[in-house]
Amino acid sequence: MSAATTDPRGGLSDFFYRHSGLLTLALLLPPLLWIGIVYLGSLFALLLQSFYSLDEFSGLVVHEFTLTTYGHLFTASNLTIILRTAVMAAVVTMASAILAFPIAYYAARYAKGGWKALFYLAVMMPLWSSYLVKVYAWKLILAKEGIITWMAEKLHIGWLLDALLAVPVIGGSSLSFSYIGTFIVFVYIWLPYMILPTQAALERVPKNFIEASADLGASPRQTFRTVILPLALPGVIAGSIFTFSLTLGDYIIPQIVGNSRPFIGTAVYALQGTAGDIPLAAAFTVVPVVIMGFYLTIARRMGAFDAL
């Protein structure tokens, strides 16, 4: 410990080594201040804004505490927007879970060595590819003159596509102007978020559980239903947190692919931009936060947090 007296820098190092709590604090302070001030500060500002209101005559924000903005939130047209978004998020989540499971299952249980790495990259590359480029790709695919129409004609099932588009509500003039289109793009964009946690959960299923189940006379189908599926469920729920939350908050996909009926995200975007009604936009964003709050509470009970 002689260094402590001769070298002042060494002395400081020794001091921090002996008082590791202070070292933790010194290291933690800068990132904590950043997140605390920039992020939590902003979230607080957002919450504050939702208690202000917009003066209807001047179009300016009145900086006084009021609940009228929340009153505006619960009008029939806004509730329809919230319901539409929640239904879309739920349907997208279920479809992602169904599509993701075979990929995750194959990657976790059958892919070995190089194949496994390839599978992993094959899921990760689309996850990290540019979000806008992916949305744009679907604009190309779903367009009336695009590849889907072309394929439907080649396969002589153009009538099926037309019948699908003729379905009220979910149909439209072409796939890129219908709810079906919006739904497909949502599923495509968020699918990797579902695959990764599902795969992670499946890989943690102990091999000897499966052997034990087979030894005790269960058929592969029974083993799957009573052993593998329950153990994989937390992973699927962890994935659903992402698919659900991301669909609730997205405002770009419905603008580019879909019939221009608003979702929560597009409503918030329009309110803060052209309408200049930041208080109502702020109140609107509280909705997904509250919905996610409930969702996370349920997910936690089902053990999804351990699977993250």
The token duo for 124 is: 């990760």
Please, what is the minimum distance in Å from the beta carbon of residue 79 to other proteins?
19
Stretch that binds other proteins, among 73-81, 158-166, 229-237, 263-271 (CB under 8 A): 263-271
| Beta bridge pairs of residue 12 | none
The binding track of 156-195 with respect to other proteins, each residue x by CB under 8 A or -, is --------------------------------x--xxx-x
Alpha carbons 206 and 231: distance in angstroms, whole number = 10
**Binding of other proteins at residue 250 (CB under 8 A)?**
yes
Provide the minimum distance between the beta carbon of 65 and other proteins in the complex, in angstroms, as a whole number. 14
Using CB under 8 A, which of 262, 285, 295, 304 touches other proteins? 285
Task: Choose which of 140, 160, 163, 167 interacts with other proteins (CB under 8 A).
Answer: 140
- Please tell me whether residue 259 binds other proteins under the rule CB under 8 A: no
Residue corresponding to tokens 């499966």: 210
Q: Which of 59, 206, 220, 230 binds other proteins (CB under 8 A)?
A: 220
* Interatomic CA distance for residues 89 and 262, integer angstroms: 14
- 22 forms part of the interface with other proteins (CB under 8 A): no
Whole-number minimum distance, CB 74 to other proteins, in Å? Answer: 20
Tokens of 42: 């902003």
Round to whole Å and give the CA distance between 276 and 37.
Answer: 25
Write out the E strands in the chain.
Answer: 53-54, 61-62
Among residues 73, 141, 231, 232, the one that binds other proteins under rule CB under 8 A: 141
* CB closer to other proteins out of 147 and 157: 147
Contacts of 235 (CB under 8 A, 6+ apart): 104, 197, 198, 199, 200, 201, 202, 304, 307
Name the token pair of 167. Answer: 């379905």
Q: Which token pair is 218? A: 């269960």
Instruction: Indicate whether 152 belongs to the interface with other proteins (CB under 8 A).
Output: no
H-helix or E-strand containing 285?
helix 278-301
Q: Which of residues 25-84 bind other proteins (CB under 8 A)?
A: 25, 27-28, 30-32, 34-36, 38-43, 45-46, 48-49
Comparison of 168 and 217: residue with beta carbon closer to other proteins: 217
- Tell me whether strands 61-62 and 53-54 are parallel, antiparallel or unpaired: antiparallel
Nearest-approach distance from CB 248 to other proteins, in angstroms: 6
Does residue 67 sit in helix, strand or coil?
Answer: coil
Q: How far is the CB of 167 from other proteins (least distance, A)?
A: 22
Compare residues 112 and 168 and give the one whose CB is closer to other proteins.
112
Query: Does the footprint of other proteins cover residue 299 (CB under 8 A)?
Result: no
Rounded Cα–Cα distance for residues 125 and 276 (Å):
38
Provide the β-strand partners of residue 61. 54
Range 93-132, binding other proteins (CB under 8 A): 99-100, 102-103, 105-107, 109-110, 117, 119-132
Pull the structure tokens for residue 210: 């499966």
Least separation in angstroms between CB 168 and other proteins:
26
Please write down the HEC assignment for all residues of 5-29. HHCHHHHHHHHHHHCHHHHHHHHHH
Cα 62 from chain centre: 34
Q: Is 204 in the site for other proteins (CB under 8 A)?
A: no
Nearer to other proteins, 35 or 87 (CB): 35
